[in-house]
Amino acid sequence: MSGIAAALDHALLEDGSLRLRADAATATQVGYWLPRLPGGVGEPVAAGGWIEVRVGDDVAPRPAAGPTMALDPVEAWIEGGDAVTLRARGGSVSGTVDFARLEAELVLTPDAARPIATEHEPRNAAVFSALTLASGLLLNRMRRALLHAAAIVAPDGRAWLLVGDAFAGKTTTTVNVIRSGWDWISDDTVVLGRGEDGAVVVEGWPRAFHLDRGYHAGASVGERDTVEPDTFGPGNWRRSARLAGVLFPRVEADLPPTATPIPAADALARLIRQSPWLLADRTVARDVLTLLTTAVSGPRFHLRLGNDCYRDTERLLEVLGGAIGA
């Protein structure tokens, strides 16, 4: 790495095998993305990876060929299986990922690093997407999987993924079970890996919740407010837990809640949809696909959420308990 004077230096994984370092000029924008993890957890390990973020000049000219994939305004070119070029459209963020060294470097223009003075969205979308892409690609090389998903912890101590697109009901369900005493890992971003015994382990990247504004009134309105997770209880946050199964929520406001088993192939396709960087890196795609296949080899349900789940958390727990035995 370049040896920047880091204003931020954080372990992103419990075992310290992936860390992020950012200079003072980028600290505010990086902070919007940074998971809210305990400080000082996980010392750097010898074979660990790094993400470094700084302000500077463009380090990654746009390749002539079309991109391998894109995430919102950021495009990625995977070149020969060894390196990645990242660029935001317009050039506000550029960077590289070196798979051999397990290192990513992201460079922001001064304008991209500057906080955006808007009430509802102060973060720069290009910075957020570039960090997500870089971390997702590095985690794949570490045979782990970064997923757009929530994770809740049943009373038996095992985790259940909540997988779905925005407004599928992940955060609403997370809040409801927290209020009923279940613990939680994250409402939006998780990392899957394997424990020493080969079992799938879920690790959280928690941030502030984005909860539907209609939650307290008992009906979804399709707009979200930012709320602090510790607003809710008595459930508590956990760093990680072994995976028990997978739930795929979907809001169908006028229908009663149900939990219906779904085929493993369908569940796997839905997981892949929430980890789009998986198939872009062919070198490790098979290994990570095996991890996801293991994740859906256990119980898996489509969770239909009606408005009565907003008003009556006991009804939701009744449906969940009938499906997963909680």
pLDDT tens-digit series, residues 16-34: 999 999 999 999 899 999 9
Nearest to 21 by CA among 58, 47, 60, 48: 48
Check residues 12 and 214 and name the one with the higher pLDDT: 12
Claim to verify: residue 125 and residue 155 sit in the same structural domain: no
Claim to verify: residue 136 and residue 275 sit in the same structural domain: no
**Encoded tokens for 51:** 């993400």
Task: Give residue 60's pLDDT.
Answer: 81
User: Which of 117, 141, 165 marks a domain boundary?
Assistant: 141
**Encoded tokens for 230:** 């510790």
Across-strand partners of 251? 305
Residue showing tokens 């000049």: 57
Q: State the Cα–Cα distance between residues 219 and 211, nearest whole angstrom.
A: 12
Residues 6+ apart with CB under 8 A from 91: 58, 109
Question: 105: domain range?
Answer: 6-141
Task: Give residue 146's pLDDT.
Answer: 98
Q: What is the mean pLDDT of residues 321-325?
A: 81
User: Which of 141, 170, 192 marks a domain boundary?
Assistant: 141
Least confident of 180-184, 269-273, 306-310: 306-310
Claim to verify: residue 127 and residue 156 sit in the same structural domain: no
Task: Give residue 117's pLDDT.
Answer: 58
Give the confidence band of 42 by pLDDT, cuts at 50, 70, 90: very low
C-alpha separations of 70 from 88, 223, 289, 307 in Å: 9, 25, 20, 35
Q: State the Cα–Cα distance between residues 231 and 254, nearest whole angstrom.
A: 28
Q: What is the mean pLDDT of residues 227-234?
A: 89
Give the confidence band of 119 by pLDDT, cuts at 50, 70, 90: low
Query: What length is written for the chain?
Result: 326
**Encoded tokens for 144:** 């782990």
Residue/partner pairs of 112-115 with CB below 8 Å, 24 or more apart:
112/29, 112/88, 113/25, 113/26, 113/28, 113/29, 113/55, 114/29, 115/28, 115/29
User: How many separate domains does the chain show?
Assistant: 2
Give the confidence band of 41 by pLDDT, cuts at 50, 70, 90: very low
Classify residue 1: in a domain, yes or no.
no
Task: Give residue 241's pLDDT.
Answer: 98
Classify residue 72: in a domain, yes or no.
yes
Claim to verify: residue 173 and residue 120 sit in the same structural domain: no
For the chain, the average pLDDT equals 89
Q: State the Cα–Cα distance between residues 16 and 37, nearest whole angstrom.
A: 12
- Rounded percentage of the chain residues whose pLDDT exceeds 90: 65
Task: Give residue 149's pLDDT.
Answer: 97
The per-residue pLDDT for range 169-178, each reduced to its tens digit, is: 899 999 999 9
Whole-structure pTM value: 0.92
Claim to verify: residue 113 and residue 137 sit in the same structural domain: yes
Check residues 159 and 305 and name the one with the higher pLDDT: 159
User: Which of 111, 141, 171 marks a domain boundary?
Assistant: 141
Task: Give residue 1's pLDDT.
Answer: 54
C-alpha separations of 293 from 173, 175, 199 in Å: 24, 28, 12
Give the confidence band of 44 by pLDDT, cuts at 50, 70, 90: low
Residue 257 has pLDDT above 90, yes or no: no
**Encoded tokens for 84:** 């990645």
Side chain identity, residue 159: A
Residue 326 has pLDDT above 70, yes or no: no
CA-CA-CA-CA torsion for 53, 59, 64, 68, nearest 10 degrees?
Answer: -20
Residue showing tokens 């993890």: 37
Claim to verify: residue 100 and residue 170 sit in the same structural domain: no
Task: Give residue 216's pLDDT.
Answer: 78
Give the helix/strand (H/E) hosting 200. Answer: strand 200-204
Side chain identity, residue 251: V
Claim to verify: residue 152 and residue 271 sit in the same structural domain: yes
Q: State the Cα–Cα distance between residues 223 and 24, nearest whole angstrom.
A: 33
Residue 226 sits in a domain of what CATH number?
Answer: 3.40.50
Task: Give residue 136's pLDDT.
Answer: 97
Three-state SS at 190 = strand
Give the confidence band of 311 by pLDDT, cuts at 50, 70, 90: low
